[in-house]
Amino acid sequence: MSNRVPTTDVLLRATLDYLDQELLPTLEGYHRFQTRVCINVLRTVQREFALSDAADAAEHARLADLLGHPGEGVDPNPALNAELAEAIASGRLALDAPGLVEHLRRTLADSLAIDNPRWIAGEAN
């Protein structure tokens, strides 16, 4: 992480505050809708910055445990996920394998915490 001042989080928060609290109330129709979309995108980016490194590391640890190896490369998770899917589809890994359901639940929860945390809180229908 760099020593930039202000930080990315501070910049995002300031932008979101301006868009949501100052600009949005002055708009209507198409531009209000598009600004709301931009606010939602920026909130997702903000959560991605805050949560993705820890979620990716935890997912990697679970995948390595399930598959018995850590994978290769800078970002091994996509390949490990493909391997896990193939192992399940071929029957090499049983659906009741220890840790599998918990891994899938945790990975989904971590992803939703970034993409739409209201789903985790039970607010989305």
Confidence at residue 124, expressed as pLDDT on a 0 to 100 scale: 55
- Dihedral pair phi/psi, residue 71, rounded to 5°: 80, 180
pLDDT in tens, 32-54: 999 999 999 999 999 999 999 99
| Cα Rg of the chain (Å, integer) | 19
> Do residues 20 and 39 touch, judged by C-beta distance below 8 A?
yes
63 contacts 77 by C-beta, under 8 angstroms: yes
pTM over 0.75: yes
CB 124 within 8 A of CB 116: yes
Helix ranges restricted to H, the chain: 8-17, 29-67, 77-90, 100-115, 117-121
Residue 2 has pLDDT above 70, yes or no: no
Q: What is the dihedral of CA 60, 78, 73, 87, to 10 degrees?
A: 80
How far is Cα 38 from Cα 63, in angstroms, rounded to an integer? 34
| Predicted pLDDT of residue 105 | 97
pLDDT reading at 1 higher than 60: no
48 and 54 Cβ atoms separated by less than 8 Å = no
